[in-house]
Structure 1
């Protein structure tokens, strides 16, 4: 069973993301803000993280900085509706492995699931 942590402040968007990635071999963990996400990393050790960037309080960039400081090597995929080039470059510099645009439909959904399958194919069960 692969654990996916979804970090998204909008409960509606979080539900859409979770519904899009559900699978028999996937356990979906949810966090509404960075503080909860950091706790879940420590308690649940997810295999991959999907995170929004623009959240109140600590942002997705702050989250990437925090997990880097903790020495966490879990792959992070950024999911955002509006990611400017400078923000995108900063996310990649901080260790994000991919960016998926919102809304999650069509090409975005296919890209996300392809990345998950690729990453999970490299992970022991």
Structure 2
């Protein structure tokens, strides 16, 4: 079984398309798993995607193993989404047909309002 989570590092990320896709995957997983998935009858995994933002950035790269339970037969895997990947995703989604109005583009508003996406030399 699988459960999916997402932690956004700031309020500016709550409405970006990547978070919407992850939330859809979370809903799909929830609808298709047994209610007692963590009872210890079967193994389960919970990947949690951590997106860097203006308030919080993951202090690690790649992934790390979080909570592990032998009794429940489950593990949480925390995955740090690299900033370049997040920016590439924003570029791709803002050019997509669903983001028709450039002024409402999540990427443009993020770049305009927040300096944390700028490269530091």
TM-score by length of 2: 0.36
TM-score by length of 1: 0.35
Which structure has the highest helix share of the two? 1
Larger radius of gyration: 2
